Amino acid sequence: MRWPTRLLHATAAQPHAFRSLATPVYRGSTVVFDRVAGIVDDWRQKDGAYSYGLYGSPTVLELGARIAELERAFHTFILPSGQAAIALVYLALCRAGDHGLVPASAYGPNRGLAADMLKGFGIEIDVYDPAIGAGIEALIRPNTRLIWTESPGSATMEVQDIPAIVAAAKARGVPVALDNTYSAGILFDAFGHGVDISIQALTKYIGGHSDVLLGSLSVANEALYERIGAARTQLGLSVSPDEASLALRGLQTLAVRLERMEKSTLEVAHWLAARPEIDLVLHPAFPGCPGHEYWKRDFIGSASVFSILFRDEMPTDAVSTFVDALELFQMGWSWGGTTALVMLYPELKRADRDYAGRLVRFNVGLEDPADLIVDLARALSVAREKPGP
Ligand SMILES: Cc1ncc(COP(=O)(O)O)c(C=O)c1O
């Protein structure tokens, strides 16, 4: 062989006996078959019959299998982001003329997709009060194909009565999807509570270090596996093994991170609850959080994200000053990573209340909570002394 050919068809090979604790990063688009009889053209690669990189390398499939094991799901698909997982649920289950339901407390881009692109496709998604519980029955129509839940909700943290919603949906044969990102798929047992589809933004707790964007979509049964697998294939949603390997690494430390973050978050939230500037602490473990009783009944713990609502006497300018004055809490979207984050919502409305400029969301990281409390105390005094921005 001439050298250009040798570059592509090398005979140099290393022994196969290398055994590492880490799952290898398998890159590849083309899968090579040994014989014509072995050619496979199928997205179902569960049993090792690989056909094409788009449907998942061993690294990506390993991540999916591990999350399925944790969530006790029939199967878990890995997707490029949490939002991609949300979009896939809609696109797999809804067609023109169909109807769906999404809580007002759902992640904004979930509701945004429903209000814009899905509406354009002739799919009608109604927004419902997250506290609705069994009352959801009255909103289900003959053409309802999907009910979304998210518990606790984004920013306003409402915990939903998932068993009541599931019971009403099952009676009408409508699948229930849950955004279970807060729970890392662990603190709330989605499938044990009868949910049909559980998605996570792996970007948050599983990735865990604010350096990877990934999503998971877990299904309860084979029929949903077939439907969602086919839609994912048609949409060409694929994930890099490098990203998946970061999430696999994240899984190894998830237990210690969650445990430490729960403790630190409770300490910080309790300190804030005692401050005169603060009206409400929206943390599922606090009685003032809407749906606290469902959290106590259905969850095995709490996580690192929560919100506070400033009293009306605190001008919104002072709230902005407070957020600007924080130093350890850095301003940024997302949560679930190792560092403390803060976010102020200039516009935020729910049916019963306008939270604009007064609700602040925190992610408590792995810092010592005593240092975070010093940061909060200092920023509160800056806000009191110099309320304007
Ligand atoms: C509850 C929830 N679901 C889904 C997402 C979307 O995840 P991603 O950023 O990976 O698209 C987020 C991200 O902020 C989220 O907070």
Domain boundaries, the chain: 25-249, 255-385
Q: What is the pLDDT of residue 126?
A: 98
Residue 352: pLDDT band (50, 70, 90) is: confident
pLDDT digit string (tens) for 283-304? Answer: 999 999 999 999 999 999 999 9
For ligand 1, atom 15, which residue shows the shortest CA distance? 107
* Fold (topology level) of 255-385: Aspartate Aminotransferase, domain 1 (3.90.1150)
pLDDT digit string (tens) for 117-137? Answer: 999 999 999 999 999 999 999
Atom of ligand 1 nearest to the CA of 333: 14
Cβ–Cβ < 8 Å for 272, 279 = no
Q: Which residue has the tokens 């925190």?
A: 362
Out of 47-61, 85-99, 232-246, 321-335, least confident range? 47-61
Instruction: Verify whether ligand 1 is closer than 6 Å to residue 265 (CB atom).
Output: no
**How many A from CA of 2 to the centre of ligand 1?**
51
pLDDT digit string (tens) for 199-256? Answer: 999 999 999 999 999 999 999 999 999 999 999 999 999 999 999 999 999 999 999 9
Residue 48 confidence (pLDDT) above 80: no
Q: What is the pLDDT of residue 73?
A: 98
Domain 25-249 is found in CATH 3.40.640.10? yes
Structure tokens that stand for 297 in this block? 């009944």
Atom of ligand 1 nearest to the CA of 213: 10
> In angstroms, rounded to a whole number, what is the distance separating the alpha carbons of residues 17 and 190?
40
The mean predicted confidence, pLDDT, of the chain is: 96
> In angstroms, rounded to a whole number, what is the distance separating the alpha carbons of residues 86 and 223?
18
Q: Which helix (H) or strand (E) holds 324?
A: helix 316-325
Q: What is the pLDDT of residue 35?
A: 96
Instruction: Verify whether ligand 1 is closer than 6 Å to residue 203 (CB atom).
Output: yes
What lies within 8 Å, CB to CB, of 97 at 6+ separation is: 122, 123, 143
**How many A from CA of 335 to the centre of ligand 1?**
9
> In angstroms, rounded to a whole number, what is the distance separating the alpha carbons of residues 126 and 101?
5
Instruction: Verify whether ligand 1 is closer than 6 Å to residue 107 (CB atom).
Output: yes
For residue 65, count CB atoms less than 10 angstroms from its CB and return exposed for 0-12, middle for 13-18, buried for 19 or more.
middle
Asked if the bond preceding 103 is cis, omega within 30° of 0, the reply is no
Closest CA to 360 of 298, 246, 229, 268: 268
Q: What is the pLDDT of residue 64?
A: 98
Q: What is the pLDDT of residue 389?
A: 66
Instruction: Verify whether ligand 1 is closer than 6 Å to residue 179 (CB atom).
Output: yes
